[in-house]
Amino acid sequence: MATPANTIVEGITGNSCLKASQGAKLIVKSFKIQTGDANPSAHLSAQLGAFIGIQNIVFGTMTNASGCHCHAESNGVITTQANYSIVAGAACHAKATTGGSIWDGLITTTITGTPNFTDAYFIAEAGGVIVPYGATFSGSATGRRFRINRGGSILAMPSFTYPPGDVDGVDISGDSLSPLSNSEISITGTATAVIGRMHVCTGTSSNYTVTLPPVSGNAGKYIEFRMSSALTVLITLDGNSSETIDGSLTRIMWTNEAAKLFCDGVTWTKVAGKTIPMHGKMNMNPTANNLFSAAAVTQIALSNTTIAEGVVCDTSGSGSITVTRAGKYELYGQLVWNNTNTSTTNLLQTRVNKNGSAVLIVYNAAGVSSYMTSTATEKVTLAAGDVMTLLAQFAVGSYTTTSVNGNAGTLLSVLEIPTW
C-alpha cells in the first residue's frame, strides 16, 4: 500500500475513525483517513496509555465541526514516524489533553490546498503536551497556529510563526505567573484586543480606543496592556458593550503605564500593572505682578508650565490645568502677596476653581511681611475635562490696590492620586 489514496478508512459517528486505548499499541501506515458520511470526533485517538505511530498517512475530510485529525488524551501518545500529508482542514490538526502527548518530529508534513483549521493547528490543554521537534512543513494553511490552555504545553517550537496558519497563536492557560508564549500585539490606532495576549500601544497623532473581548466565554482568562514610552496620546480601554473594568465602562492609560486584567465571566478586574500619576503644575512669570483691587476675586495669570504629565496646561489667557482622566486629585494653590496691609485683621483668600466655581477656599490672616504666603490644599474627585484655575482675594484693608507676586512662587498644582 505505497499510495495512501488507494485505501480509505472512514469513521463512525460519535467516536474516532481509529482509536487505541488501555495501553494498546498501533502503527497506522499508507492509507487515507476521512469521515465520509459519519461524524467522528477524531481521525486518530490514543487514550489511557495507548500508543499510535503514524507513517505515510493522508488526513482527509473532517465533517465534525469540533473534530480533529489527531487526539492524544489521558496519557495516550501519538508520534509521527514517517512523512505524511494533509489535504483537508478540521477544527485542529493535533490536540493533546489531560496528560496526552503528540510527538511530531524529524519528518515533513505536506499540506495541500491551503486547508483551514477553525480552532488551531496545534492545541495543548489540561496538561497535554505537543513536541514538534525538528518537523518541517511543505505548503500552507489558514487559521490560528496554536492554542495553549489550562496548563498545556507546546515544546521546542523555534518561533511563534512555526506551525502552519495565518493567525498568531495564543496562550490562554489562565496561569497568572506563566510568561506569555506569544509575541506582543502592536496597536497604533482603534482596535479590539485579543484574549490571552500582551498588547503594546503606541502613537503620537490622536487619542484612540482599544475594546476588550466579550467576557462571555473568557472566564478565568487574562489580557495585558503596556503603554510604550514613545506614546504621546491617551488610550481608552473600553469594555465590550456595557461590560465594566473595575466598575467603570472605560479606563484611560498613558505613556509607560501597564495593566493585567482578569476576566471572571462577568467583568474585568485589574490584578497587576503600573499606574503613573498625572500631574500639572503652573506658576506666574517670575517678573510679573497680578494687580487687583481690595475685595475683588481675581484669577491669577499662570503663564509658565513647569510640569505637564498627562494633563493639559493652557498658558493662553490667565492659564489653567485640564484633567484628562477621572479620579482623585490633590489640589495645591500658593499665593505670594506683595504690598499687603500689615494689620492681622486683613484676610488673604487662596481659591482654586473647577469649571469656574470654587472647589477650594482658604483664608489666611495678613502678616507684617511684605511677601506674605498663603496656601490652600485639598483632595477632591475630578472628572475628565474639569478645568482648574487659581484665584485670589485681598478681602479687607486700607489699601485699594495690592498684588500677587510671581517672583517667590505663586503656583497651582493638580496631582493625581492613583486608585486603579
Is 234 domain-assigned? Answer: yes
Is 24 domain-assigned? Answer: yes
> Do 356 and 235 reside in the same domain of the chain?
no
> Do 9 and 158 reside in the same domain of the chain?
yes
Q: What is the CATH number for 345?
A: 2.60.120.40
Is 75 domain-assigned? Answer: yes
Alpha-carbon distance values, 224 to 72, 196, 402 (Å):
31, 7, 55
> Do 17 and 166 reside in the same domain of the chain?
yes
The last residue of a domain, from among 149, 173, 197: 173
> Do 54 and 114 reside in the same domain of the chain?
yes
Is 180 domain-assigned? Answer: no
Is 178 domain-assigned? Answer: no
| Contact of 398 with 339, CB cutoff 8 Å | no
* CB proximity list for 316: less than 8 A, separation 6 or greater: none
> Do 331 and 264 reside in the same domain of the chain?
no
* CB proximity list for 248: less than 8 A, separation 6 or greater: none
How many structural domains is the chain composed of?
3
- Give the closest residue to 264 by CA, choosing from 225, 221, 223, 224: 221
> Do 287 and 389 reside in the same domain of the chain?
yes
Give the global pTM.
0.62
> Do 316 and 266 reside in the same domain of the chain?
no
Is 411 domain-assigned? Answer: yes
Is 107 domain-assigned? Answer: yes
Residue 35 belongs to domain spanning: 4-173
> Do 209 and 66 reside in the same domain of the chain?
no
> Do 262 and 392 reside in the same domain of the chain?
no
The last residue of a domain, from among 173, 199, 228: 173
> Do 230 and 151 reside in the same domain of the chain?
no
> Do 222 and 245 reside in the same domain of the chain?
yes
> Do 252 and 290 reside in the same domain of the chain?
no
Is 300 domain-assigned? Answer: yes
**Per-residue pLDDT tens listing for the chain (420 residues):** 468 878 888 876 667 889 999 999 999 999 999 987 667 889 999 999 999 999 999 999 998 889 999 999 999 999 999 999 999 999 999 999 999 999 987 899 999 999 999 999 999 998 899 999 889 999 999 999 999 888 888 887 887 788 999 988 887 664 444 444 456 899 999 999 988 888 999 999 999 999 999 999 888 888 999 999 999 999 999 999 999 999 999 999 999 999 999 999 999 999 989 999 999 999 987 767 766 666 778 888 888 999 999 999 999 878 999 999 999 999 999 988 776 554 545 567 889 999 999 998 887 665 555 667 788 999 999 999 999 999 988 765 544 445 566 655 889 999 999 999
The phi and psi torsions of 261 (rounded to 5 degrees) equal -110, 140
The angle at the Cα of 81, spanning 79 to 82, to the nearest 5 degrees, equals 135
